[in-house]
Homo-oligomer: A and B are copies of this chain.
């Protein structure tokens, strides 16, 4: 993408009268956990310049509460609320449909939108920002990534002067809860059931454990941090389900633990991105994150590494981000526009790898595996085999020196044809 890039700045001097004259009238679309937390903060904290006037939800009578002001209108008619005199629509329904339609219609009619909808922003954010701009209103989505952690304002305001070359994050609280519980000895299926019972995971957990949720958030961070606009579907996520107790045990021997890491970095004109279970050094900030916490590490060319950590999900933390966006709208705080170019996403990283095998033991297996790796010029760093496992289902681990992901995949292609495997070999990137 190229073209004329005219910078246009608004006048610096802003007369005092330009301040909010009347509070922004706010409609909440979707009165679930986050929606009711937003209402709770608006009612309890009464932030200046914000007034909750409408709540929309399907089957609204189930949702109605008694602690909001009496004049709040409760509605199950989205069209009526969109046609009302509200100034801002807070979209908390999630998903592409019908939320996308509501957001487009709100912006099209000049109403600003605050949303926590990572999927909508990851796929249609740029289009929606253009629509907002053309209608003289605003789209804000500070709650879409890492909930209560102000990483989006941090990128738009405090780090806009840097050039970010790399993003690493723990962006999905469900996966972090599952993996940090497994780190303490629990088994995957048991922890998943517990996460579902606690409301951290959906009945169908694919969106979380399959990496799709983290992928959407990573795409948004890539847009703001690496300044590239990508098709989120070009990022191939890997599920955490393949990781088992034995992997945590071997990881520990290697001075590591396992986390679902979403990461992206510049690779020439394009970018490389990955989402999936990853070995992280115990001394790395990524290993500090436990439970449902989120973390984002940005590597700036000038400022070095900046780490943000906190509660990435949950009603109240996400609601803080929503209310902060509403306050920014009320105070006329324009975001620093961060330009972006279209880029395609590669998956080529050059890092060490951990490969765990589960084999029906016979002589010559290690020789064959190491031959396949040597053929791709991949150097072995360590071979680990713990005692106490039966020979017909023997787990062991090979770690390799930094090599290109593509070379490793070719080697694994050959290794997979061997007749000894009791399970697919599991290869994980190692971050040092």
Residues of B within 8 A of A307 (CB): 307-310
Q: Does A129 count as interface, using CB distance less than 8 angstroms?
A: yes
CA distance A163 to B112 in the complex (A): 25
Residues A336 and B340 in contact, CB atoms below 8 Å apart: no
Please give the count of copies of this chain that the complex contains: 2
**In the bound complex, CA of A319 to CA of B163 (Å):** 12
Query: Known contacts A19-B11, A317-B302: does B324 contact A159 (CB below 8 Å)?
Result: yes
**Complex Cα gap A303–B313 (Å):** 9
Binds B, one of A92-100, A146-154, A186-194: A146-154
Instruction: Pick from B8, B160, B319: contact of A328, CB below 8 A.
Output: B160
Assess whether B324 is in contact with A148, with CB atoms less than 8 Å apart: no
Question: A20 to chain B: which residues have CB within 8 Å?
Answer: 8-12
- The CA-CA distance from A156 to B160 in the complex, in Å, is 15
Q: Is the CB of A12 within 8 A of B112?
A: yes
Q: Which of A289-339 contact B (CB under 8 A)?
A: 300, 302-311, 316-317, 319-337, 339
- Given the known interface contacts A304-B310, A320-B161, A328-B157, the answer about A6 and B341 at a Cβ–Cβ threshold of 8 Å is yes
A346 at the interface (CB under 8 A from B): no
Is A150 within 8 A of B9, CB to CB? no
Q: Taking A9-B332, A87-B12 as contacts, is the C-beta distance between A158 and B163 under 8 angstroms?
A: no
Q: Which B residues lie within 8 Å of A157 (CB)?
A: 142, 150, 153, 156-157, 324, 328, 333
Residues of B contacting A308 in the complex (Cβ-Cβ under 8 angstroms): 306-308
Q: Are A309 and B328 in contact (CB under 8 A)?
A: no
A78 within 8 A of B: no
Interface residues of A in 151-209 (CB under 8 A from B): 151-154, 156-163
Q: Which residues of B contact A12 (CB under 8 A)?
A: 20, 24, 87, 112, 126, 129-130, 133, 136-138, 329, 332, 337, 339-340
Q: Which of A116-156 contact B (CB under 8 A)?
A: 126, 129-130, 133-134, 136-138, 142, 147-154, 156
Please, how many angstroms separate the alpha-carbon atoms of A331 and B87 in the complex? 23
Taking a contact as CB atoms under 8 Å apart, the answer to whether B142 and A341 are in contact is: no
- The size of the chain A interface, using a CB distance under 8 A, is 96
- A48 is an interface residue with CB less than 8 A from chain B: yes
Question: Which chain B residues border A23 with CB–CB below 8 Å?
Answer: 7, 9
Measured CB to CB, the closest approach of chain B to A132, in angstroms, equals: 8
A21 within 8 A of B: yes
Q: Counting chain B CB atoms within 10 Å of each CB, which of A8, A19, A137, A285 scores highest?
A: A8
Which listed residue, B16, B130, B309, B319, touches A8 by the CB 8 Å rule?
B16
State whether A339 touches B302 (Cβ < 8 A): no
- A303–B306 alpha-carbon span in the complex (Å): 20
CB neighbours of A332 from chain B (8 A): 9-12, 14, 334
Give the distance to chain B from A118, nearest Cβ to Cβ, in Å: 16
A133: chain B residues at CB < 8 Å are 12-14, 16
Q: Tell whether, in the assembled complex, residue A24 and residue B9 are in contact, meaning their CB atoms are under 8 Å apart.
A: yes
Kindly provide the distance from the CB of A38 to the nearest chain B CB, expressed in whole angstroms. 9
- Report the Cα distance A130→B360, complex, angstroms: 76
A417 contacts the other chain (CB 8 A): no
Whether B161 pairs with A130 at a CB distance below 8 angstroms is no
A252 proximal to B (CB < 8 A): no
Chain B hits for A19, CB < 8 A: 8-11
Contact between A154 and B161, CB atoms less than 8 A apart: no
- Residue of B with least CB distance to A127: B12
25 CB < 8 A contacts A-B: A6-B11, A6-B21, A6-B341, A7-B23, A8-B16, A9-B19, A11-B337, A12-B24, A16-B133, A47-B161, A142-B158, A148-B300, A148-B303, A149-B158, A150-B158, A150-B159, A151-B158, A154-B154, A159-B320, A160-B328, A285-B288, A302-B319, A303-B321, A324-B336, A331-B337
Which A positions have Cβ atoms within 8 angstroms of B? Answer: 1-16, 19-24, 37, 41, 45, 47-49, 87, 110, 112, 126, 129-130, 133-134, 136-138, 142, 147-154, 156-163, 227, 266, 269, 285, 288, 300, 302-311, 316-317, 319-337, 339-341
